[in-house]
Structure 1
């Protein structure tokens, strides 16, 4: 491969690894909305 293609491929792989890491981090910090059956009670209690 040419040098430019290698640099592009390396940058792409680094970018994808960062995006996967960010997605994993966000998914660990949040919960799925369907897993909160008592959501209405939580909203009314906070107001």
Structure 2
């Protein structure tokens, strides 16, 4: 394997690891839209539980 191919392979692996890390980070900070239900009801129940 030539030196250029090794450098390209290392950069590709680093790029993919960074992209996977970013994707994982984003997925942990957000929720699936279908699991939210009715947003107005969620907000009102969250406010009520905070007051108790």
Normalising by the smaller structure, the TM-score range is 0.7 to 0.9
Tell me the distance in 1 between the aligned counterparts of 2:36 and 2:12.
37
Structure 2 gap segments, 5+ residues each: 45-52
Structure 1 gap segments, 5+ residues each: none
Which of structures 1 and 2 has the bigger CA Rg? Answer: 2
Match of 1:21 in 2: 21
Secondary structure in structure 1 of the residue aligned to 2:16: helix
Which 4+ runs in 1 deviate beyond 3 A? none
Give the length in aligned residue pairs.
Answer: 42
Tell me the distance in 1 between the aligned counterparts of 2:24 and 2:33.
17
Tell me the distance in 2 between the aligned counterparts of 1:3 and 1:27.
36
